[in-house]
């Protein structure tokens, strides 16, 4: 669907070359929601803007639907861009135009008739839940409503690809969740390929099928979201994952403990089994749960538990091995003195 081949983008800043994207190659499959995550300055937004040539790459190729976008210009490029919708962090709505007029703008640019525009805008407003805001102006809308208008505008010309550049970073958590659910619905019902740029692993967890992690203009890790949560390979990926799975325990509890501290990762079916209960019944050990949580990634559970085990040293070791065999994710954090 989208193939990026050895893409490089170099800027000239004060007579110095600054590399924004450094020889990036990746393939995004048709119909998937693909995430690109990185800290500020990692090159993720530059990479996204190269896909529709808002930024023209210095070298490399971008192929969308079997068309080499980087080889196009003029009318051919404008036509190709009609199939690549884009939504922005700051909404980019025209303040002097109503919701209807903001959405209709993209359709007029594509040469649609008045009747076609009327019909299509109505469909889009119904899709994003804003039929009652048709004649409102952007200043009368909440942040979430503005982004829904932005989504409707991006979908106006029936694109096959939707690019989302930090589309939820200006929104509160509840509104972010509603926008992400809308994007998932659009992906599911229309089959549109969605590329999501973000610096928040929560967004990746909530919506994406696969993810690429960027650092210093390069992709340092790529894979299924669940796989990166359970087996991150790079320090940057681990830091993103730990921000979501972190288990904050008051220092006084850690100082007061007398047993062995273990962190247990329950993956897939293991998260729904009574492994801890079986362990405490099988071995002569006591278990003190200090913290725990279960996340759902693409509807697959991932549990993490911070547990203090106390008892005979050999029994504790046997219990740890027992849980390790069943979860494949036990880490001894600290052993009792």
**Residue 253 pLDDT greater than 70, yes or no:** no
Domains 2-243 and 251-334 share a fold: no
Q: How far apart are CA 97 and CA 324, in angstroms?
A: 60
Q: How far apart are CA 26 and CA 31, in angstroms?
A: 16
Q: Is-contact 205 230, C-beta < 8 A?
A: no
The rounded Cα 259 to chain-centroid distance in angstroms is 38
**Residue 337 pLDDT greater than 70, yes or no:** no
CATH of 2-243, one of 3.30.70.20, 3.40.50.300, 2.40.50.90, 3.30.9.30: 3.40.50.300
**Residue 38 pLDDT greater than 70, yes or no:** yes
Q: How far apart are CA 161 and CA 192, in angstroms?
A: 6
Q: What is the pLDDT of residue 273?
A: 85
189-235 pLDDT per residue, tens: 999 999 999 999 999 999 999 999 999 999 999 999 999 998 899 99
Q: Which CATH superfamily is domain 251-334 in?
A: ACT domain (3.30.70.260)
**Residue 254 pLDDT greater than 70, yes or no:** no
Query: What's the DSSP call for residue 71?
Result: G
**Run of H or E including 97:** none
3-state secondary structure of 159: coil
What is the residue-averaged pLDDT of the chain? 92
144-181 pLDDT per residue, tens: 999 999 999 999 999 999 999 998 988 899 999 999 99
- Give domain limits for the chain: 2-243, 251-334
Extended strands (E) in 114-259: 161-165, 193-198, 210-215, 218-224
pLDDT bin (cut points 50, 70, 90) of residue 336 is low
pTM greater than 0.75 = yes
């Amino acid at each position: 669907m989208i193939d990026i081949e050895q893409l490089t983008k170099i800027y000239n800043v004060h007579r110095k070359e600054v590399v924004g994207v450094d020889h990036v190659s990746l393939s995004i499959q048709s119909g998937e929601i693909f995430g690109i995550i990185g800290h500020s300055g990692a090159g993720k937004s530059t990479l996204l803007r190269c896909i529709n040539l808002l930024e023209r790459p210095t070298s490399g190729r971008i192929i969308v639907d079997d068309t080499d976008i980087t080889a196009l210009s003029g009318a051919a490029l404008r036509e190709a861009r009609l199939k690549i919708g884009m939504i922005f962090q700051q909404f980019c709505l025209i303040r002097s135009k109503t919701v209807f007029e903001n959405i209709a703008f993209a359709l007029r640019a594509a040469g649609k008739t008045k009747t076609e525009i009327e019909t299509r805008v109505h469909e889009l407003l119904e899709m994003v839940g804003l039929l009652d805001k048709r004649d409102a102006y952007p200043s009368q809308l909440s942040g979430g409503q503005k982004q829904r208008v932005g989504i409707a505008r991006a979908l106006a010309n029936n694109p096959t690809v939707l690019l989302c550049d930090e589309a939820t970073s200006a929104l509160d958590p509840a509104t972010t969740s509603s926008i992400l659910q809308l994007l998932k619905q659009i992906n599911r019902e229309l089959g549109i390929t969605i590329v999501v740029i973000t610096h928040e692993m929560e967004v990746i967890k909530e919506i994406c099928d696969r993810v690429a992690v960027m650092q210093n203009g390069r992709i340092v890790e790529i894979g299924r979201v669940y796989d990166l949560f359970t087996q991150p390979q790079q320090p940057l990926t681990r830091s993103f994952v730990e921000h979501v799975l972190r288990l904050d325990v008051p220092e006084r509890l850690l100082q007061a403990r007398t047993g062995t501290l273990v962190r247990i990762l329950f993956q897939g079916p293991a998260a729904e089994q009574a492994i801890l209960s079986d362990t405490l019944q099988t071995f002569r050990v006591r278990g003190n749960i200090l913290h725990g949580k279960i996340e759902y990634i693409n509807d697959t559970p991932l549990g993490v538990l911070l547990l203090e085990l106390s008892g005979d040293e050999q029994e504790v070791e046997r219990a740890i091995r027992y849980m390790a065999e069943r979860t494949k994710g036990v880490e001894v954090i600290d052993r009792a003195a």
